Amino acid sequence: MFATQDLALSLQFRERLILNPQNLPHTGPVLLAPTHRARWDALMLPMAAGRRVSGRDCRFMVTTTEMSGLQGWFLKRLGCFPVDQKRPSMTSLRLAIDLLAAGQQVVMFPEGRIHRRDEEIKLHLGLVRLAQLAQRRGVSVPVIPVGLGYSQAPPRPLSRAAICFGEPMHPPEGGRDEELRFNQSLATAMHAAEQAARTAVGRPLGCF
């Protein structure tokens, strides 16, 4: 935390804003669904929701390709674990569900990868299905839409950053149509959170 939050973030951003922190539960399982615009997202989330704030770490689900080499070594120490989004293994899903059952917070980027350009948010179904699997084990998991915004793209030293937590959402029981409707509602909530974050740093989103 000293290296990432006290040094790296402080040197990179002259201002770091946290919007609507009251929407982040500090107890019980939670599934964070953030937008993904820069590698700095992985440091901003623990700063706003991690151990110093909620008393628990952010456990990231990241793609298997991101867990190789020096970056993989670093990500493991940030609390990340790999998942193949095209064919997620039961081992990865079981680990995520076990963490949620233990009252931890799991972070999953539902867009699947970094999108550096402003464009309509399109989500994979992995997050809602993970929440449903947890529900079948008796673990009710609120999903928190999260938007991250930077005053410059890509973020440059001494720029500004903001993170906004949306209101908790509750995934449906099942059925593809319900999953798709939930994903659309989640994308809308993530967009609103991102718009709030971007507006706060003076770089609002345009219309799609």
* Residues listed for the chain: 208
Domain extent at residue 90 = 2-200
Question: Which pLDDT band holds residue 13 (cuts at 50, 70, 90)?
Answer: very high
What is the structure's pLDDT at 84? 67
* Residue 26, domain member (yes or no): yes
Comparison of pLDDT for 12 and 112, the residue scoring more = 12
* Residue 176, domain member (yes or no): yes
Torsion angle of the four alpha carbons 118, 124, 125, 131, in this order, in degrees rounded to the nearest 10: -70
Q: What does the pLDDT average to over 132-137?
A: 92
Q: How far is CA 201 from CA 12, 24, 173, in A?
A: 14, 21, 37
In tens, the pLDDT along 38-96 reads 989 999 999 999 999 999 999 998 777 677 777 777 777 777 877 766 665 666 788 89
* Residue 159, domain member (yes or no): yes
What is the structure's pLDDT at 77? 75
For 114: left if phi > 0, alpha if psi spans -120 to 50, otherwise beta; the answer is: beta
* Residue 172, domain member (yes or no): yes
Q: Which of 147, 150, 178 minimizes the C-alpha distance to 20?
A: 147
What is the structure's pLDDT at 111? 93
Number of domains in the chain: 1
* Residue 115, domain member (yes or no): yes
Taking the C-alpha atoms of residue 100 and residue 103, their distance in angstroms, rounded to an integer, is 5
Q: Which of 5, 27, 7 minimizes the C-alpha distance to 18?
A: 5
Q: Which of 99, 110, 122, 117 minimizes the C-alpha distance to 33?
A: 110
* Residue 9, domain member (yes or no): yes
**The CATH number of the domain where 131 resides is what?**
3.40.1130.10
* Residue 208, domain member (yes or no): no
pTM as predicted:
0.91
Q: What is the mean pLDDT of the chain?
A: 90
CB atoms within 10 A of CB 169: 17
* Residue 53, domain member (yes or no): yes
Report cis status (omega within 30 of 0) of the bond before 154. Answer: yes
What is the structure's pLDDT at 2? 77
